[in-house]
Amino acid sequence: MVAMNESVIRPFKSLGGSLKTLREKNNESVAEVSGAVEIDVEELESIENGFKRPSEDILMLLINHFGMQDNDAVRLWQLAGYDHGAKAKDIDDGQANFKQVVMLLTLDSRVVYSDGVGINVDPSGVVLNFTQGSELGERLPISRVGMSIDQAEHLSDLLQKALLKIKYVKGPKSLPASIKIDKDSKKTK
């Protein structure tokens, strides 16, 4: 029987170890982190043990969940092999020469309408899970938005103001023609 090289068995050992260290520094359990990013506990354990690479979306959710600084986030991104410029082996060996990282995000101006929302809250933030009902009666996820607690509170205030404005402000802000104000007494006639 031929012994397999550990890098073949655990190709993402460095990435998984880094993620596990982050989780432990934040005093979070595997269940807490997997729940926050909505993956199975077994999947997160497989990622932390280096057996599996998280998808780009899951890695971004983990980076956001841990509130990582840009440099640390870029390092994790590269450990996962998503930089497309450096070889994962070079990065794992610590020999990569980082000069400049450019991340392009596409802006999508489409509006996605939903008829349901689920809200997950934990000390690191809020995740809104927007859903749409299907013909089979299932709830299908259509969009996820994560934010800090402060940002969620600000969003709540803005949403309340917008809803009050649309509810109570109808038409231009002017007095009807039949109401006149006496300038001297400030009384309505």
Write the DSSP assignment of 107-147 as a string of letters.
Answer: --------SEEEEEEETTEEEEEEEEE-TTS-EEEEEEEEE
φ and ψ of 128, to 5 deg: -95, 125
Q: How far is the C-alpha of 134 from the C-alpha of 121, rounded, in Å?
A: 26
Taking a C-beta distance cutoff of 8 angstroms, is the pair 120, 145 a contact?
no
| 103 is a domain residue | no
- Domain end point (choices 32, 57, 92): 92
Residues 74 and 14 in one domain: yes
Least Cα distance to 124 among 46, 61, 59, 189 occurs for 61
User: What pLDDT, on the 0 to 100 scale, is given for residue 89?
Assistant: 43
CA distance 59 to 19: 10
Residue 82 phi/psi, 5-degree rounding, is -95, 5
Contact criterion met (CB below 8 Å) for 63 and 55: no
Asked if residue 59 and residue 128 are part of one domain, the reply reads no
Q: Report the C-alpha gap between 60 and 8 in whole angstroms.
A: 25
Q: Are residues 23 and 88 in the same domain?
A: yes
| Residues 18 and 84 both lie in one domain | yes
Give the CATH number of the domain where residue 20 resides: 1.10.260.40
Q: What is the pLDDT of residue 43?
A: 92
55 inside domain: yes
Evaluate whether residue 67 is within a structural domain: yes
Residues 64 and 127 in one domain: no
Say if residue 154 is in the same domain as residue 84: no
Domain match, 22 and 66 both: yes
Same domain, 126 and 74: no
Q: Which residues fall within 8 angstroms of residue 14, CB to CB, at 6 or more apart?
A: 50, 79, 91, 92
Taking the whole predicted model, whether its pTM rises above 0.95 is answered as no
Largest pairwise CA distance in the chain: 103
Helix (H, G, I), strand (E, B) or coil at 181: strand
Domain residues for the domain of 155 are: 116-168
Q: Is residue 183 part of a domain?
A: no
Domains identified in the chain, total number: 2
- Whether 57 and 127 map to the same domain: the answer is no
My answer on whether 124 and 162 are in the same domain is yes
The pLDDT profile of the chain, 189 residues, written as one tens digit per residue, is 445 555 567 788 899 999 999 999 989 999 988 888 888 899 999 999 999 999 888 888 888 888 888 888 888 888 888 865 444 444 444 444 444 555 555 566 677 788 889 898 988 888 888 888 878 888 888 888 888 888 999 999 998 988 888 877 766 555 555 555 555 545 544
What gap in Å lies between CA 159 and CA 44, rounded to an integer? 35
Work out the number of other CB atoms within 10 angstroms of the CB of residue 59: 21
- The pairing of beta strand 139-147 with beta strand 125-133: antiparallel
Instruction: Name the burial class of residue 94, with classes exposed (0-12), middle (13-18) and buried (19+) by CB atoms within 10 angstroms of its CB.
Output: exposed
